[in-house]
């Protein structure tokens, strides 16, 4: 039996054709706004772009206008902000899903146990935590990319209803992969500020 073919799309920035996993999906909403659809489940006319400054600069607005055959008003800075904000919302949803199916550990003791049991697929460390200084076991995980910095203890506390949480561990592989991608999208370099008079048209939605 031959393996199933992976789905491919063309980046509206660089015009190269790659697997959809390497791209961010954008769609046109009812009012003509460009919406970031990281989950890939929204209906509407779509376009795809690499989440890199160079491709986003080419995509907004020229590449998107050409691909969607309409006048797109959003610019590269706005689109970058929209992708980053959508990534935060996507990560929030993934963490809540992991918690619901009991594939999330929170707090230093539970996270360390998941590491020692080899269950941890991804560690998320609050940027205002001092865990890396306190726990020597965390340092090699940071070096290997298994542990990533994101957010704050306040954000984790708000999401999980658990104040002062600094460490999270996702133990489900698929959720961990998608969460890691979302964290990387929050780190996108923002292009230069939009010119005066440019109308905002990108919605901050994660899908």
Q: Tell me the pLDDT tens digit for each residue of 124-166.
A: 999 998 765 578 889 899 999 999 999 999 999 999 999 989 9
From residue 114, alpha-carbon distances to 172, 188, 202 in Å are 11, 30, 39
Fold classified for 8-85+188-203: Hypothetical Cytosolic Protein; Chain: A; (3.30.1230)
Q: Tell me the pLDDT tens digit for each residue of 180-205.
A: 999 999 999 876 544 444 444 333 34
- CATH code of the domain occupying 87-186: 3.30.1330.30
Residue 200 confidence (pLDDT): 40
Residue 88: pLDDT over 50? yes
For the chain, residues classed under CATH 3.30.1230.10 are 8-85+188-203
DSSP lists the bridge partners of residue 106 as: 168
b/e map 108-146, b = 16+ CB within 10 Å: beebbebbeeeebbbbbbbeebebeeebeebeebeeeeb
Q: Tell me the pLDDT tens digit for each residue of 32-50.
A: 789 999 987 788 888 999 9
Six-digit token string for 99 = 């918690």
For the chain, residues classed under CATH 3.30.1330.30 are 87-186
Residue 205 confidence (pLDDT): 40
Dihedral of the alpha carbons of 132, 134, 137, 143, in degrees to the nearest 10: 20
């Amino acid at each position: 039996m031959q393996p199933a073919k992976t789905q491919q799309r063309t980046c509206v920035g660089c015009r190269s054709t790659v697997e959809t996993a390497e791209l961010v999906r954008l769609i046109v909403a009812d009012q003509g706004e460009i919406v970031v659809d990281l989950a890939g489940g929204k209906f509407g006319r779509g376009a795809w772009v690499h989440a890199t400054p160079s491709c986003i600069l080419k995509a907004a607005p020229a590449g998107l206008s050409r691909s969607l055959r309409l006048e797109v008003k959003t610019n590269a800075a706005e689109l970058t902000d929209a992708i980053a904000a959508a990534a935060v919302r996507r990560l929030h949803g993934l963490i809540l899903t992991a918690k619901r199916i009991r594939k999330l550990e929170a707090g230093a003791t539970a996270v360390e146990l998941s590491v020692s049991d080899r269950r941890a697929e991804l560690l998320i460390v609050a940027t205002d935590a001092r865990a890396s200084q306190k726990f020597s076991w965390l340092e090699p995980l940071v070096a290997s990319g298994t542990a990533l910095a994101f957010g704050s203890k306040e954000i984790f506390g708000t999401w999980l209803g658990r104040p002062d949480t600094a460490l999270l561990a996702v133990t489900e592989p698929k959720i961990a992969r998608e969460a890691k991608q979302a964290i990387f999208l929050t780190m996108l370099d923002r292009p230069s500020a939009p010119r005066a008079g440019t109308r905002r048209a990108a919605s901050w939605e994660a899908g």
